[in-house]
A = this chain, B = another copy of it.
Amino acid sequence: MDRLDRDIIGALIEDARATYAEIGQRVGLSASAVKRRVDRLRETGAITGFTARVQPAALGWTTEAYVELFCAGKTSPAEIGVAIARHPEVVSACTITGEADALLHIRATDVRHVERVIERLAAEPFVVRTKSSVVLSRLIDAPPALARNESASSA
């Protein structure tokens, strides 16, 4: 995992369908060398796959919200994970420090749909209370680059 690997990953994040020759030109390597490194990055798990970047609005998912979950005393993260995985609207979720136990990111078709999802979540037996915020406008979407900085020591 050196500079070259990070440059290659950066190129693949920008365009996962770039040809090995194009990537090689960008990072200063031949196509074969790039392929070898990409194969290795996939084997080691640094790259877990390739996906299409979709505009959720184009599919009808026009509304998103963040929902904080306050859970009953002895609820394990695993228990929360299993339960919320049943709700397809939950796009991302994690346990966090602070007052709330978990933070969920949900995507829905409209505000009414958001409401229904929150109701369904609140109905989970271990959920004591929820606190939700509807997204007004998205400022930054995501992966502009994970690999551009020195990314510190590790890896």
- Measuring CB to CB, which residues of chain A are less than 8 angstroms from any residue of chain B? 1, 6, 9, 12-17, 44-56, 58-62, 64, 66, 77, 80-81, 84-85, 88, 90-98, 100, 102-103, 107, 109-110, 113, 131-149, 151-155
Contact = CB atoms under 8 A, between A and B. Distances in A.
Given A59-B151, A133-B103, A50 B16 contact: yes
A155 B17 CA distance: 26
Nearest to A81: B139
A58 B155 contact: yes
Contacts of A143: 51, 54, 91
A46 B66 contact: no
A1 B58 contact: yes
Nearest to A131: B98
A85 B139 CA distance: 9
14 contacts: A12-B51, A14-B49, A46-B54, A47-B53, A59-B147, A60-B151, A60-B153, A84-B139, A92-B141, A94-B139, A95-B135, A96-B133, A97-B134, A109-B153
B147 A50 contact: no
Contact of A48 (B55, B152, B154): B55
Contacts of A153: 60, 109
A1 B60 CA distance: 11
A133 B97 contact: yes
B51 A139 contact: no
